[in-house]
Amino acid sequence: MQKLALATALGCAAFAAQADVTVMSWGGAYGFAQNEAHLKPFTEKTGIRTVMVDTDNAAGPIKAQVEAGNITIDVASVELADAIRLCDEGLLEPIDPAILPDGADGTPAAGDFFPGGLTACAVGTDLWANVIAFDGSRYTGEKPSKAADFFDTEKFPGKRGLKKSAKAVLELALMADGVPADEVYALLETAEGQDRAFAKLDTIKKDIVWWEAGAQPPQLLADGEVVMTTAYNGRIFNARIDEGKPFEIIWDGQISELNTYVIPKGAPNLEEALEFIKYATSTEGLAAQAKYISYGPPRHSSNAVEIIYKDGSTVMGPNLPTAPENRTNALETSLEFWVDRDAELNERLNAWLVLN
């Protein structure tokens, strides 16, 4: 794996030689959104050439490049947890929030970004969420509308899809059991809270279909293998808008996480990389990305702008995890909690799976 990451990282050199800013991102619809919203308009505005390089996760190539002393990428898109870890390991350039543009309403960046959106080495680009989704065409009467309905197989019978991971599953179980979002992690730190989460999972254990890749939940719904499933909100939005699937999202109990832009330590075009991040994470830059994918901008000022999807007619606000009406009982993933307990709780989940 390490050799593969190093080969991928060093293989970017040919691209870097052709551009002033090389951006490594996730590819697919996500990479397309950043290319259209950030790279192309940045080049048009500044004349600084940009190129995008795709990868499954830029954290590996960043580490490989910096440790090899052969850095060929200038900016990378990584999850917040990886950004914090890489920064702590001295593998990223610091980014001073004071250099970032104020919000469109004049609010300084430090007060405009959501909590966690600015760290020592990273600037938030979008907030995505684990949500509950269902096929609306299967219900002629009352439809599920809250997290508790996911566990109510008497009122809403049928199989449930869940990601095969303790993270975002145990939190959902507690919220569905009546625990307010702002109390979830304090309770989940205790043996009592963990027992309560697994007891809630016990109530639907025989009805669970486990998934591991983000493309699976929409397919499980489309094939009728489940009536409800947890899923990444962007996948459900795309299936509904781009493919015409009758899927609906339950925002109650959403569990959200941040993606960020970072600069590898020793990036060859540091000054240009900083200019790119300043542009991309402005009010306008973050709002523009949400025109192409249904992940919410982590700036308050960006969410105050009316955002229209690339189809020209769909208003994005109600489809974003950051919409105020979608955050009534929303939970932001605690990085600190999962750094300390990920292995332990996944081990317990795996042991629970083999029990009758």
Can you give the pTM of this predicted structure?
A: 0.85
At CB < 8 A and 24+ separation, what contacts does 34-42 make? 34/77, 34/125, 34/280, 34/289, 36/288, 36/292, 36/310, 37/280, 37/285, 37/288, 37/289, 37/291, 37/292, 38/276, 38/279, 38/280, 38/285, 38/288, 38/289, 41/279, 41/288, 42/276, 42/279, 42/280
Instruction: For residue 125, give the 3-state DSSP assignment.
Output: strand
- Which stretches within the chain are classed as H helix? 2-10, 13-16, 28-34, 40-46, 59-68, 80-88, 109-112, 147-150, 170-176, 184-188, 191-202, 216-222, 233-241, 270-280, 283-289, 300-303, 335-354
Higher pLDDT pick, 9 / 165: 165
Distance CA 98, CA 96 (A): 5
Query: Tens of pLDDT along 198-257?
Result: 999 999 999 999 999 888 999 999 999 999 999 999 999 999 999 999 999 999 999 999
Higher pLDDT pick, 3 / 28: 28
Query: Tens of pLDDT along 246-301?
Result: 999 999 999 999 999 999 999 999 999 999 999 999 999 999 999 999 999 999 99
Say whether pLDDT at 139 is over 50.
Answer: yes
Fold of 129-257+330-354: D-Maltodextrin-Binding Protein; domain 2 (3.40.190)
Query: Tens of pLDDT along 46-79?
Result: 999 999 999 989 999 999 999 999 999 999 999 9
Confidence of residue 19 (pLDDT cuts 50, 70, 90): low
Confidence of residue 336 (pLDDT cuts 50, 70, 90): confident
DSSP string, 183-195: GHHHHHTSHHHHH
What is the DSSP code (8-state) at residue 205?
Answer: G
What pLDDT score does 355 carry? 87
Looking at domain 2-121+263-321, its CATH class is: alpha beta
What pLDDT score does 8 carry? 47
The mean of the pLDDT values for the chain is 93
What pLDDT score does 56 carry? 85
Question: CATH 3.40.190.10 occupies which residues in the chain?
Answer: 2-121+263-321, 129-257+330-354
Handedness of CA 224, 26, 346, 123 (dihedral sign): negative
What average pLDDT does the segment 72-87 reach? 94
Question: Longest C-alpha distance within the chain, in Å?
Answer: 63
What pLDDT score does 16 carry? 42
